[in-house]
Amino acid sequence: SKHLLGIKDLTKEDIHLIFETADNFKDVINRPIKKVPSLRDITIANVFFENSTRTKLSFELAEKRLSADVINFSSSGSSVKKGETLLDTVNNILAMKVDMIVMRHSSPGAPHFLANHISANIVNAGDGTHEHPTQALLDAYSMRERVGDLEGKNVAIIGDIIHSRVALSNIFALQKLGANVMICGPATLIPKYLSSFGVKIVSDVREALAWCDIANVLRIQLERQQIKYFPSLREYSLYFGVNKQLLDSLNKEIVIMHPGPINRGVELTSDVADSHHSIILDQVENGVAVRMAVLYLLAGTVG
Ligand code: CP
């Protein structure tokens, strides 16, 4: 495909090709000369309609390491505030001879809508509560780096699942790679449709941690919550928070992940987030190589 809209559309072979390509780029960016000329004639626009730190900077760095020309657009401070539509905004950017669009948008399906209306390559950098494919790729890549082949490994995804695009993309990626997936959180934060996805669903965080090799702990997304949910943040951290005392009581080694940004003391305490269990900053480091791989593979279809 010329786009990366979601993990749902990828095969296991596609994911392995991305990982092998990312392995090569990870070697490249650890050398004194970090740049390669692969995307020298390609222009990429990073189009962000929603806030981001990691994804936005990681794509920009990946593009620069590949020698692409890069422009950055944020809806805040733009003519979106004067009422310009998504399609008009993107068509105006494309009129400046841009080849690829990396887009984050708060509406699920926004990149799929664009793909039906424009000819440039599109990479989904997170569409509302739907998918965040490069996050799932960098997550699975980081898991594989720490524990080896994911076939048969147990991965628990803990937290605010209903508002999470990271959860859905992780489930698709992990299942394609042969991992067993458990979902853990309060019933109010787990969507009903997940029961048909072949994942185990539990509400006891101790049970999830006792079962898993890897726990991917997700953020409580207050900005997406329309109504006052049970539990409150205080109740959440009491009943679902991952903390050192809980991990120590299990007497086993678990790899702890989090896509960021962390609500410290809510879903994860600092004594876990900053401990030897955590590969949170490895995830961020790997994000650049994984995004280089995605852009490099898609660039083969530009034109
Ligand atoms: N993990 C992630 O998507 O972080 P940002 O929202 O900061 O990009």
AA letter at 58: S
Q: Which domains does the chain have, with CATH numbers?
A: 7-132+284-299 (3.40.50.1370), 134-279 (3.40.50.1370)
Pocket test for ligand 1, best of 46, 54, 60, 166 (most atoms within 8 A of CB): 54
pLDDT over 60 (residue 163): yes
pLDDT at 5: 98
Binding residue ranges for L-aspartate: 82, 165, 219
> Which residue's CA is the closest to the ligand 1 atom numbered 1?
259
pLDDT in tens, 207-220: 999 999 999 999 99
- In order of 109, 211, 248, 274, 278, the CA distances from 271 in angstroms are 37, 21, 11, 6, 10
The SS3 of residue 259 is: coil
Cα gap 120→122, rounded to integer Å = 6
- What value does the CA radius of gyration of the chain take, rounded to a whole number of Å? 19
Nearest CA to ligand 1 atom 3: 55
Whole-prediction pTM = 0.97
Residues annotated as catalytic (active site), given as ranges: 54-55, 82, 104, 132
| Best of 46, 52, 131, 139 for a ligand 1 pocket test (most atoms within 8 Å of beta carbon) | 52
Percent of the chain's residues with pLDDT above 90: 92
Mean pLDDT of the chain: 96
The residue count of the chain comes to: 303
Average pLDDT in the 66-73 region?
A: 98
Instruction: Give residue 23 CA to ligand 1 midpoint distance, Å.
Output: 22
State which ligand 1 atom lies nearest to the alpha carbon of 260: 1
pLDDT value for 170: 98
**Tens-place pLDDT, residues 104-144:** 999 999 999 999 999 999 999 999 999 999 999 999 999 99
| Beta-sheet strand order (sheet of 69-74) | 69-74, 43-48, 100-105, 121-127
